[in-house]
């Protein structure tokens, strides 16, 4: 099953992808995670995109499209995949349509105020990839990952100025994909405001091939 998770930053796309991927034996492919890993490892790609991610702007389409095309050529997508954070522009969506087919586009619906609350409290563990929230999903020991014990950090792009820019970028460049995929008959809206478990439970019955 080939899925796209569409929605503004902070809608919970990554959290829900991690919760359901094993059920369908499909990998969670997050372009944001791929860029962050490249930055952490100081690869040429990482150096190229570091300042773009910090500001909350989008990485140029040609770089992102090539990266996803290469990722979707890997063997582990035999049962499908969850694309989280891609496509984010109409040219990306058109390019994707040329090298794969999509079964569902899940549109995570949530208002701007809730997003700002969520992102400002979000903390991540870089090594384990686990995502916490100071209020909604705190770790057992404050400031440290339950799984690895590593210190939790705030993403640079979760700081207020970058969050506001990311939401503006989403409205201008990514929200038009809602109409694009709706016209193609692929879009399924999901209320992303409740807790992750409620969102995941409401999503699973929608995913039938």
Which residue among the candidates 21, 123, 130, 166 is catalytic per the annotation?
A: 166
The CA R_g of the chain, rounded to the nearest whole Å, is 16
Active site residue 36: no
Which residue among the candidates 36, 88, 118, 130 is catalytic per the annotation?
A: 88
The β-bridge partners of 2 are 81
**Residues recorded for the chain:** 209
Tokens for 3, please give them: 């899925």
Distance CA 111, CA 145 (A): 28
Shorter beta-carbon distance to ligand AMP: residue 21 or 166: 166
> Residue with structure tokens 């049962």?
79
Give the angle 154-156-161 at the CA atoms, nearest 5°.
Answer: 115
174-195 burial code (b ≥16 CB/10 A, e <16): beebbebbeeeebbeebebbee
Shortest CB 145 distance to ligand AMP, Å = 18
**Touching ligand AMP, residues 36-75 (CB under 6 A):** 52-53, 56-59, 64
Select from 86-94, 107-115, 184-192, 200-208 the region that touches ligand AMP (CB under 6 A).
86-94
Strand 104-109: give its sheet, edge to edge.
28-30, 81-84, 2-6, 104-109, 187-191
Could you give the 3-state DSSP secondary structure of residue 136? coil
Active site residue 155: yes
Tokens for 54, please give them: 């910090």
123 makes contact with ligand AMP (CB under 6 A):
no
Active site residue 123: no
Active site residue 141: no
Which residue among the candidates 118, 122, 123, 130 is catalytic per the annotation?
A: 122
12 makes contact with ligand AMP (CB under 6 A):
no
Shorter beta-carbon distance to ligand AMP: residue 36 or 145: 36
Of 31, 96, 158, 186, which lies in the binding site for ligand AMP, with binding defined by CB under 6 A? 31
Active site residue 71: no
85 makes contact with ligand AMP (CB under 6 A):
yes
Shorter beta-carbon distance to ligand AMP: residue 97 or 149: 97
Active site members: 13, 88, 122, 155, 166
Q: Please report, as ranges, the residues that interact with ligand AMP according to CB under 6 A.
A: 9, 30-32, 35, 52-53, 56-59, 64, 85-88, 92, 157, 166
């Amino acid at each position: 099953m080939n899925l796209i998770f569409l929605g503004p930053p902070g809608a919970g796309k990554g959290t829900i992808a991690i919760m359901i991927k094993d059920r369908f034996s499909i990998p969670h492919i997050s372009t944001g995670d791929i860029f962050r890993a490249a930055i952490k490892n100081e690869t040429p790609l990482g150096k190229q995109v570091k300042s773009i991610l910090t500001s909350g702007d989008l990485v140029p389409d040609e770089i992102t499209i090539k990266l996803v095309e290469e990722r979707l050529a890997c063997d582990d997508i035999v049962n499908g995949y969850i694309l989280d954070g891609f496509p984010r522009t109409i040219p990306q969506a058109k390019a994707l349509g040329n090298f794969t087919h999509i079964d569902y586009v899940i549109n995570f619906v949530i208002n701007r105020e809730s997003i700002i609350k969520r992102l400002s409290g979000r903390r991540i563990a870089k090594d384990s990839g686990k995502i916490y929230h100071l209020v909604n999903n705190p770790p057992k020991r404050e400031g440290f990952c339950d799984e690895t014990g590593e210190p939790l950090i705030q993403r640079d792009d979760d700081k207020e100025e970058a969050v506001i820019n990311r939401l503006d970028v989403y409205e201008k460049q990514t929200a038009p994909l809602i109409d694009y995929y709706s016209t193609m008959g692929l879009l399924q809206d999901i209320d992303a405001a409740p807790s992750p478990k409620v969102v995941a439970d409401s999503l699973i019955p929608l995913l039938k091939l």
